[in-house]
Amino acid sequence: MFKRELPFLNRMTNSNRNSVTRVWDEKCDKGWAQLMNLEHEIAVNYLLAQTGIEIPNNASVIDVGCANGWVLRKLVDEYKIAYGLGLDLSNKMIEEAREKSSEYKMLDFKVDGWEDIVKYSLQHGLFDVILGVESIYFYGSVVDNIRNAFNSLKDGGYLGLNIECYNENPDSFKFDERVGATLLHYTIQEYLPMINDAGFKIENIRSFKCHYPLEREFESWLNTYGTLIIVAKK
Ligand SMILES: C[S@@+](CC[C@H](N)C(=O)[O-])C[C@H]1O[C@@H](n2cnc3c(N)ncnc32)[C@H](O)[C@@H]1O
């Protein structure tokens, strides 16, 4: 299929795979996995229940950037998925995910990232759903991440993305300072062709204001502009 060249693809970040691992290992030691569960759950609940994303019973799901695996445990408990694969570049996050999920025999956790999902779809078979909750914009190529998701999904499968760091959310640049990296902040209008050109049909897109009872001023991006939520179907 002809792919047009998107003019913004050369956006750069100073992160690489090793620096993402180092930063998130440190954050894991500081208890961030649990904190992110609290901070992201309202928007994840919206993604799962209000956007039209379909997660059938017995679904197979990849959660890329899974941290301690809380989204997959929620999907087992509430959606009865049959199999979940959590990938994260942080060794410590994956250790914590395995510890917390010891009772969940249908969940696997691996130290790997967006660029590795095709490998798992070849081993396991194509997946029903791929989720990326605040993980697609840390380094590398967002376009390639989206194409990898397309190639790893069954026909009719869904990609669900939650994205706090996007260009229309100026407060989200404070998060770059917080993690000490330049992240890939795209505009909403830049995300759309990346997803369409990969072959997806966009089913839902919105900025979801969490109205989270924030104690910290620097998290204003959650309430003021909100989380960009995109649902696309193969
Ligand atoms: C902001 S946290 C979000 C964690 C989790 N999804 C949540 O909502 O609690 C970002 C996580 O994504 C991981 N990550 C960042 N870039 C990644 C990539 N390219 N592939 C896989 N994981 C990645 C980080 O190690 C970190 O654990």
pLDDT 10s digits, 78-90:
999 999 999 999 9
Of 20 and 215, the structure prediction assigns the larger pLDDT to: 20
The neighbour count for residue 110, using CB atoms within 10 Å, is 16
On the question of pLDDT at 213 being above 80, the answer is no
On the question of pLDDT at 125 being above 70, the answer is yes
| Alpha-helix runs per DSSP H in the chain | 17-29, 32-50, 70-79, 91-100, 117-124, 142-152, 173-179, 188-198, 221-224
> Rounded to whole angstroms, how far apart are CA atoms 53 and 234?
12
On the question of pLDDT at 19 being above 70, the answer is yes
CA of 202 to the centre of ligand 1 (A): 23
What is the atom index within ligand 1 of the atom nearest the CA of 24? 25
pTM score, whole prediction = 0.94
R_g of the chain computed on alpha carbons: 16
Q: Hey, which of 22, 88, 90 would you mutate to test ligand 1's pocket, going by the most ligand atoms within 8 Å of its Cβ? A: 88
pLDDT at 209: 84
Phi-psi region of 200 (alpha: psi -120 to 50; beta: other; left: phi over 0): beta
- CA dist list (Å): 130 to 13, 32, 56, 87, 219: 24, 23, 13, 11, 26
pLDDT (average), residues 159-177: 90
CA of 211 to the centre of ligand 1 (A): 23
pLDDT tens-digit readout, 44-54: 999 999 999 99
CA of 224 to the centre of ligand 1 (A): 23
pLDDT at 96: 98
CA of 213 to the centre of ligand 1 (A): 23
List the residue whose alpha carbon is closest to atom 21 of ligand 1: 113
Q: What is the sign of the dihedral through the CA atoms of 209, 214, 220 and 222?
A: negative
114 lines ligand 1 (CB under 6 A): yes
20 lines ligand 1 (CB under 6 A): yes
Confidence of residue 138 (pLDDT cuts 50, 70, 90): very high
Confidence of residue 72 (pLDDT cuts 50, 70, 90): very high
Angle between helices 32-50 and 70-79 (to 10 degrees): 40
Of 154 and 222, the structure prediction assigns the larger pLDDT to: 154
Confidence of residue 1 (pLDDT cuts 50, 70, 90): very low
Cα–Cα nearest to 188, from 174, 199, 172: 172
Class of domain 17-233: alpha beta
pLDDT at 7: 61
Confidence of residue 204 (pLDDT cuts 50, 70, 90): very high
